[in-house]
A and B are shown apart, each in its own frame.
Chain A
Amino acid sequence: MYIIIVGGGKVGRGAARDLIDMGHEVCVVERDANTAWSINNELGEVALLGDGAEIHVQRAAGMNRADVVVACTGRDQANLAVAQTAQTRFNVAKVIARINDPRNERIFQALGFNYTISATTAIVNAIEQEVSAGLTRLTQLRSTAFVLAEHVIPSLAPCVGCTVRDLDLPPHTVLALILREDDEPEIPGPNSTIHAADVIIAVTQPEHEPALRLALTGES
């Protein structure tokens, strides 16, 4: 595939390195001459010097034949501009946008950009996950109303020894995976037994998280 990455900072450069290793054709558009030079030094002649939000630069990068455009500068307004011109002007099939300020997620979603990456949100979620014991929202699944939730079963939880069938699960909730130390992961069926210290990965909706927590841990 031909992939154009706009923004050659840590994120763009890291992505370029991996995608080149995977055998893709990559162009990194970078407006800082020193950064572009250093990318070329490391990865071969892949960097194009210029402002990737400018259409003449996009044309020079061959955006009309790009399969994927990744907008990952440190400025959300630039990423939005790149994403919109890539889609509107060059009909790029897949546009991935990085969001720096989580407050901007709303506008990207409102404009129909479902492939977005928000490092800040990912890090905040990871911190929340480490800080809060028990049930934690892991990841929003694309732009749906569903989230992946992870929970460790406490040894004294009422559900220890019960089967999945016995659990009082809230609506729109499915247990997807049980992870156990010293054992293979199990895709749970109605007859799977819950053990203490099991790690349960569930698909649920944010409003049903409290009920799921109660069902799995006995804690509200």
Chain B
Amino acid sequence: MRVVIMGCGRLGSTLARELDHEGHDVTVIDIDAAAFNWLEDDFRGATVVGAGEDVEVQEVAGVPRADIFLALANGDNRNAMAVQVAKHIHRASRVVARIYDPERAEVYRQLGINVVNPTTILDQMVREAAFATEEPDRQTR
């Protein structure tokens, strides 16, 4: 599948590498060219320097022809705008946005966007780790 990822930080670069290894056609967008250092040398996908919410940058990155667009940059506003540009202007069939703020995540869900909210997921995991019945030490070792 053709996948465009906006944001080449820890999450974006990890996903880009994995999807590339699995044989997908991956393009990564980041506003900072230095971010592409997160990718390994054997990464076969393409990289585009630019603001991922920019309608023309998305065009260069091939969003109009992509199967999946993932907005994984650091700002909620940026990610939200980017997936909506991909969806409403480039008619991307599947988009996912990372939104840190749980309340805003709810707003964008109402607007029909696939949202992943790390805060609620981590909240849950931290609770489980903290209140687990096994000896806490065994989990960290």
B residues with a Cβ closer than 8 A to A are 53-56, 75-78, 80-81, 84-85, 88-89, 101, 103-104, 107-108, 110-111
Contacts and interface: CB of A to CB of B under 8 A. Distances in A.
A200 B112 CA distance: 47
Interface string A103-117: 110110011000000
Considering the complex of A and B, which 8 residue pairs feature the smallest CB-CB distances, nearest first? Answer: A77-B77, A81-B77, A77-B81, A110-B88, A55-B103, A77-B78, A78-B77, A88-B107
A56 to B, nearest CB: 7
Contact of B111 (A54, A84, A110): A84
Given A89-B107, A107-B88, 16 more contacts: A53-B104, A55-B103, A55-B104, A75-B77, A77-B77, A78-B77, A80-B77, A80-B81, A80-B84, A81-B81, A88-B110, A88-B111, A103-B54, A104-B55, A107-B81, A107-B84
A107 B107 contact: no
Given A54-B101, A78-B77, A111 B84 contact: yes
A150 interface: no
A80 B78 CA distance: 9
The majority secondary structure among interface residues of chain B is helix
Given A84-B111, A88-B111, A107 B101 contact: no
B3 to A, nearest CB: 22
Contacts of B108: 84
Contacts of B81: 76-77, 80-81, 107
B101 A103 contact: no
Nearest to B110: A88
8 contacts: A56-B103, A78-B77, A81-B76, A84-B108, A84-B111, A89-B107, A106-B55, A107-B88
Contacts of B84: 80, 107, 110-111
B89 A77 contact: no
A107 B103 contact: no
Contacts of B89: 106-107, 110
A129 interface: no
A111 B76 contact: no
Nearest to B53: A77
A55 B103 CA distance: 7
Nearest to A75: B77
A132 B78 CA distance: 37
Nearest to A59: B103
Nearest to B56: A103
A54 B77 CA distance: 10
A85 interface: yes
Nearest to A101: B54
B90 to A, nearest CB: 10
